[in-house]
């Protein structure tokens, strides 16, 4: 399913899959220019990072974001967001089973932690074990949330955090979770791209 996300622009950079020529350089210049002037080394490093993120393969329709809370290149990490159609009956038990299956599929062995960020959103998240740098194949953390009231078939917001270690993600996981409030299907008038049935797991 195609996805649209409008995060806080001061904290996140949305990395387009097909940006206009020179986008990375212009974005890096804008992000690293301050009252004291531009920092060429920081700008070059951020530009290189944006180019790398854009080129890394996207295995499904998703939005790729870069967290740059301080506007620089320290402590940054990436988040891949996608919408997964839920094939359960939308009951609490069905939702739990679907979300836990998604969590296990994307981060095998991760310990599920319940989430209820607001009255209309619920799900789970899990943190990877160890200190290894997260990748697109093995993320540092995974968040799965279902939002009530979307004018579509039921979907779960799947967020895979990578490009940093689990220990660096945990203190800022609330910033990742908050992205769910900024996510919606990109075009409600087109038929969604179905990822196929999701195997269910026992409800906790």
Which residues on neighbouring strands pair with residue 160, listed in sequence order? 80, 142
- pTM for this one? 0.83
Q: Where are the domains of the chain?
A: 9-16+60-187
The answer on pLDDT for 191 being more than 90 is no
The tens digit of pLDDT for each residue in 12-60 reads: 999 998 999 999 999 998 888 765 556 788 889 899 999 999 999 887 8
**DSSP reduced 3-state for 137:** coil
What pLDDT is stored for residue 4 in this prediction?
A: 82
What pLDDT is stored for residue 75 in this prediction?
A: 66
The per-residue DSSP string of 44-97 comes to HHHHHHHHHHHHS--SSS-EEEEE-TTSSSTT-EEEEEEEEE--S-SSHHHHHH
Nearest in space to 80 (alpha carbons), one of 23, 140, 31, 122 = 140
The tens digit of pLDDT for each residue in 82-125 reads: 999 999 998 999 999 999 999 999 999 999 999 999 999 999 99
Mean pLDDT score, 141-151: 87
CATH of domain 9-16+60-187: 3.40.1000
Q: Which of residues 201 and 76 earns the better pLDDT score? A: 76
Task: Quote the radius of gyration of the chain (alpha carbons, Å).
Answer: 17
Q: 124: exposed, middle or buried (C-beta count within 10 Å: 0-12, 13-18, 19+)?
A: buried
The answer on pLDDT for 78 being more than 90 is yes
Tokens encoding 35: 């009252």
């Amino acid at each position: 399913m195609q996805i649209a996300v409008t995060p806080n622009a001061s904290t996140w950079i949305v990395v387009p899959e097909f940006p206009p020529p020179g986008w990375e350089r212009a974005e890096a210049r804008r992000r690293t220019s301050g009252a004291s002037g531009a920092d060429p080394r920081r700008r070059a490093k951020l530009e290189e990072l944006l180019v790398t993120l854009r080129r890394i393969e996207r295995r499904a329709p998703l939005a790729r974001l870069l967290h740059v809370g301080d506007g620089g290149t320290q402590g940054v990490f990436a988040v891949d967001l996608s919408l997964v159609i839920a094939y359960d009956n939308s009951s609490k038990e069905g939702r739990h089973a679907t979300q836990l299956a998604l969590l296990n599929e994307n981060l095998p062995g991760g310990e599920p932690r319940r989430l209820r960020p607001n009255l209309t959103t619920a799900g789970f998240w899990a943190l990877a074990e160890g200190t290894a740098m997260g990748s697109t194949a093995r993320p540092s953390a995974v968040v799965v949330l279902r939002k009530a009231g979307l004018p579509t078939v039921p979907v779960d917001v799947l967020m895979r955090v990578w490009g940093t270690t689990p220990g660096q993600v945990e203190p800022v996981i609330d910033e990742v979770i908050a992205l769910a409030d900024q996510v919606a299907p990109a075009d409600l008038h087109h038929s969604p791209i179905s990822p196929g049935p999701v195997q269910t797991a026992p409800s906790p």
